[in-house]
Amino acid sequence: MARGRKSTDNADSSDTVESVDSEGSAQVISGIDAALAVDGTSLEGGGGQGSGAPPAGPHAGGHAVNIEDEMRSSYVDYAMSVIVGRALPDVRDGLKPVHRRVLFTMHELKNNWNGAYKKSARIVGDCIGKYHPHGDTAVYDTLVRMAQDFSLRYLLVDGQGNFGSVDGDPAAAMRYTEVRLTRLAHELMADLDKDTVDFIPNYDGHDHEPSVFPSKIPNLLVNGSEGIAVGMATKVPPHNLTEVVDALLAIIDEPGIELSRLCQIITGPDFPTGGIIYGREGIKQAYETGRGKIRIRAKTHTETMDKSGRESIVVDELSYQVNKAQLIAHIAELVRDKKIEGISDLRDESDREGMRMVIELKRDAISQVVLNQLFTMTALQSTFGIINLAIVNGRPEVLTLDEMLGHFLHHRRDVVTRRCLYELRIAEARAHVLEGLLIALDHLDQVIELIRASATPDAARSGLMASFALSEIQAQAILDMRLQRLTGLERDKIRTEHAELMVEIGRLRAILADEKLLMTEIRKELVQVRADFGDARRTQIVDDTGALDIEDLIADEDVVVTISHTGYIKRSLLSTYRAQRRGGRGKQGTGLKDEDWVNDLFVASTHAHVLVFTSKGRVFQLKVHEIPAADRSARGKPIVNLVPVAKDERVRAVLPVREFVEGRYLFMATRNGTVKKTDLMEYSKIRSTGIIAIVLDEGDDLIDAKVIESYEEILLATRDGMSCRFPSEQVRGMGRATRGVRGIALEDADHVVSMAIVPSEDAVLGAGVERPTILTCCENGYGKRTPSSDYRLQNRGGKGIITIKTTDRNGPVISVRAVAPDDECMIITDRGQLIRIRVKEISVIGRNTQGVRLINMGDGEKVVTLERIAEREDEDVMAPPAEA
């Protein structure tokens, strides 16, 4: 059957169950029917059909019991026992039974705040033996938590020894630690001996324990509570004692005060570890409905290191219930996995004076950016889910703020009333005795003579009662009176005591008769509690300014993004390029290996997006500021470390996008001649794991992707020397996760090797720029340049026209590029030979020709790629392609 989750006696539980049923047992029952149903058959007497057990009945030694009814009854009994008697606090004193029993045990042992410490094992042993028949671990864990200054806002136990740490270190064994009550704990049990609360039998009936504490302290709000029952949970945050008492005084002074005004007095939870609460909406919701969520952030500041000038983030206060050691380990893992950039060192410098966790940053790191990443990815920012669930009149209820305060005041009214009644009984009994003594003193000679004449004490007592109209108690008090009370001084003391008692009796009767005087008495006690134990807030509350994006912390400036042939990427300041090009033509170091070069370079804003397309048709998204910054001499970082590209994938295109707007398109081409045009907006929201950019058939792969304008034209080139130039408008826009349409018809064994974007004739004439030429390179090292005007416009999906003759001399086409005369290109062979050539040195010849030799190669050597070089070493002015 389905089991309810077992509650722990230790209140330090971090799990919560969101659904809470204020009726207590209704929700507990709801999940039982399915667990008990067995094909609709009722099982009786513990056996069923086919079970092999004899049927229940008279011969079984008892009457038949329906197992469904028995289990429902037993489970509900267990659930309600956990709910009421173990896991949830009482709204009056804010304590669970285990806490109450531990504190009462210490009270019985006179383990007071101004006395000697006692071994924790002694407390645990007495508590288990007399009041709490459970494991010693549960009791000791409860005792430990009440002594931890990072768990309770106001300590109830004064501990001596190792009681654990915020790093998650466990407390020492109970035989090593010592404890005693705090002054605040005494206020919880004040007037316990004045019949202020009911006492109930303990588990074996040999002793009695209080059902609740009188509690001058609003402990449920002040120290909070946390626990998991069956089908419900509680998670009440701690609050500041001064604020809570001020709210109680406001209710006393102005009955019916609005909740909104109480929320202005109690501004929010006040955690023992401090921190910062971001936003007030969750607090307001919790106070109005009993449920809410608040965000807590660690309190930090930045420091600048003297020698290096680098910044450090220093954590002074952590969020409530955050394990510092685990937090440091988690941050180290994120840095190791390169999920957080910019951290160079991490250490814990906490000591007796307080917490200090230092996060050193790299020289180029922005502290606010790193801090925002830490808030997002680690427990430096946590969410506290508030559930104000407590036991009210024997049943669990979710309470609003004014209800919690009202129940406490109602409890104090009962306690003070019962205390006054008790004190009145004691005072009246004493006054009654004193009145008899005063009568005896007024008739001293007759009393002495009567006593001397009596044969026995009983006769003397009867004589006194008859002669002076005394009660038996008064007569006995006269007989018990010592002779020294007959002196003049003692007689005066008796008269003074009687007069004072009559004043006290009058005061107590007035309090009991007048509700206002009763509330005034409660008010005086609360004011004294505030004076004795009130303190300043530890947790700061700030308005939520909304989610802070990293872009909000980074200057919007243009940078140069370079991508090398082997897949290294970096960003550099635009000023470094201009500074190095001014005044000379010296060669500029790029930090790349001899076999690598920059084949893509663009200028983009740090707030721009970068789309990374792979051969498998997937697309990933980066922000330009996420690309590692490096100077001109640095190599950069492999792009596969920034996006999760699979081993069998290759990056085919990297496109900058300043903003995603309607009406702009991405154009893609595949190896098998499929093309696709999709609205750029389809790629505005990309998961960190990437999304599908184009659906590919088996054996197909993406060869290129470009951002195009409506006036631009597409040129597809195939391995066998065919090409097809068509307007991009012939390809209709379609969804993202689609296959596309035919771009060029391929012969058997032929495939597309390149896609070039060519401006239309009207666009070239309107801009007054030189028409681009089409550079074609073949496998055997031959190639040529051909005017783009030689490639006539065709319809999409045709076989196309010849771009170069793929004879035995030339070999198949390797690459086709649209180039300008000032461009440079790099050719690589399968044996690692490289040649860098100027485009203007390549002959411009007709389309249907064989071309000229571009590179000399050895026998069997073949060209594997041709790439346009984006960064030229002999140009004076950089003119990179404009970003999309």
Catalytic residues: 176
- The backbone torsions φ and ψ at residue 558, rounded to the nearest 5 degrees and listed phi first, read -80, 140
Number of H helices, E strands in the chain: 21, 40
Tokens of 73: 């009854």
Give 3-state DSSP helix, strand, coil % of the chain, rounded to 5.
35, 25, 45
Task: Say if residues 76 and 25 touch (Cβ distance below 8 Å).
Answer: yes
543 Cβ contact partners less than 8 Å away, ≥ 6 residues apart: 279, 280
Burial class (CB in 10 A: 0-12, 13-18, 19+), 543: exposed
Q: How far apart are CA 262 and CA 245, in angstroms?
A: 11
DSSP assignment, residue 86? I
Residue 296's DSSP bridge partners are 277, 382
Residue 637's DSSP bridge partners are 569
Cα distances from 258 to residues 83, 251, 254, 264, in angstroms, run: 31, 9, 9, 10
Q: Are strands 722-727 and 741-742 parallel, antiparallel or unpaired?
A: unpaired
Produce one character per residue of 692-701: b if its CB has 16 or more CB atoms within 10 Å, e if not.
ebbebeeebb
Task: Say if residues 115 and 189 touch (Cβ distance below 8 Å).
Answer: no
Identify which of 540, 604, 64 has the alpha carbon closest to the alpha carbon of residue 316.
Answer: 540
Q: How far apart are CA 368 and CA 379, in angstroms?
A: 17
Produce one character per residue of 125-158: b if its CB has 16 or more CB atoms within 10 Å, e if not.
ebbbebbbeeeeebbbbbbbbbbbebbbbbbbbb
Q: How far apart are CA 784 and CA 845, in angstroms?
A: 7
How big is the chain, counted in residues? Answer: 884
How many CA atoms within 13 Å lie on the side-chain side of 656?
26
CB atoms within 10 A of CB 639: 22
Residue 829: helix, strand or coil by DSSP? strand
* 396 sits in which H/E element: strand 395-398
545 Cβ contact partners less than 8 Å away, ≥ 6 residues apart: none
Task: Say if residues 492 and 498 touch (Cβ distance below 8 Å).
Answer: no
Q: How far apart are CA 779 and CA 829, in angstroms?
A: 9
Task: Say if residues 380 and 276 touch (Cβ distance below 8 Å).
Answer: no
Tokens of 453: 């004449």
Residue 158's DSSP bridge partners are 180
Cα distances from 656 to residues 590, 604, 705, 709, in angstroms, run: 21, 7, 12, 15
Task: Say if residues 100 and 210 touch (Cβ distance below 8 Å).
Answer: yes
* 401 sits in which H/E element: helix 401-442
Q: How far apart are CA 785 and CA 863, in angstroms?
A: 17
Residue 541's DSSP bridge partners are 277
CB atoms within 10 A of CB 356: 13
